[in-house]
Structure formats: C-alpha cells, structure tokens
Amino acid sequence: MNSPALPDLLTRLVLGETSPVRGLRQARAKITDATEGSYQALFAADLPGSLTLQERLLVAEYASQLTPQPELAAHYLERLQGFTAPEDSPRLKAILDFTRTLVLAPVEGDRQALTALLDAGLDTVDVVTLGQLIAFISYQVRLASGLKALEQLQ
C-alpha cells in the first residue's frame, strides 16, 4: 500500500515549502535517500546490539547541542519526550564522554577511549553503532548548516 512519501528529515527541518534547494537535493536523490536511510537505520527500533533507542537519541541530542545545530537538537529532544529521564550510570557516562570527544576533538578518540566503552559493558557491535552514530550526526549537522545557508542565499 502506498502512502504519499513524507519529505526527508532535513527537508522538513530546514527547508521552506517552495525552496529551490529542494530541487537541488532531488538532483542528488541518491545522496538524499542514503542520508535519510542512514537516519532511519541508526534509529531503528530493532537495530542489532544493546544500545537502546533512548541511548541513541540521547547521544544524537547531545551531539547536536555541542555542535550546535538548533533544528536537529530540537528534533532529537522532541523524540526523547516519550522516555522517562535516564538514571546516571557508568555506562551512560562512558557513552556521553565518548560522544563529546568524537564531536569536539575526534583525534582524541583513541584506543583508550574505545577501551573505556568496552569496560563499561558495550560489545563490539555497540561500539561500532556508537562510532557510526556520532560520525553520522557530525555529517548530518554540517549538511543541515549547509542547507540552511543555501536557503538563505536564494
């Protein structure tokens, strides 16, 4: 059954209804689709591994705040509204410490930083997920900023 396709997340967040930038992105549809596909995959309810959806959204919200990219920060904050506030734990602290390092000073995300995650109980698949997630948000916030600037230029 087909339903009318909703525009991708970044279009909804930063582009106007009749923005010419929408057409520029359609001309690069493979990129727009894979950007949206990455977002959907990283926040899928059934993603393999032990990183919960709430943990992934907390990482995304924190990373967007640190950048800062206000539209994405607000989006991830809104998605967190359905969850009860997380308890402080060594696991969450390790996850958010790693997030801060990768967002602000990626070269400092060394082997020791990765070991801290494994010591906090994350498995290999979770470390891969977390690395991909923070790296994807680093891409997403820059694309959002670039699209907003292009929009202002029109």
Partner 1 sequence: MSEPLDIQGFTNRSLGWKSWLPTLDLAQANPEQVAVLEESHPQAKVSEYYLTLIHQPEVLRQRSLAFNAIMYAPGGLSRAERELASAVVSRVNQCVFCASVHAQRFEQLAKRNDVIAQVFSDPQTAGTTSRERAIVRFAIDLTLAPGEVGAGALRVLREEGLGDGEILDLVHAIAIFAWANRLMLNLGEPVWGA
Query: Which positions lie near partner 1, rule CB under 8 A?
Result: 20-21, 24-25, 27-28, 30-31, 33-35, 37-38, 41-42, 44, 47-49, 67-69, 102, 106-107, 109-111, 113-114, 124-125, 127-129, 131-132, 134-136, 138-143, 145-150, 152-153
Tokens of 84: 């009860």
The residue assigned the tokens 């690395």 is: 131
Amino acid making up residue 154:
Q
Residue with tokens 């969450």: 92
For the bound state, the minimum distance from the C-beta of residue 42 to partner 1, rounded and expressed in Å, comes to 6
Structure tokens at 130: 């977390």
Shortest spacing between CB 20 and partner 1, in angstroms: 8
Closest distance to partner 1 from the beta carbon of 87 (Å): 26
90 Cα distance to chain centroid:
22
Closest to partner 1 by CB, 42 vs 58, is 42
Rounded to whole angstroms, the Cα distance separating 71 from 23 reads: 21
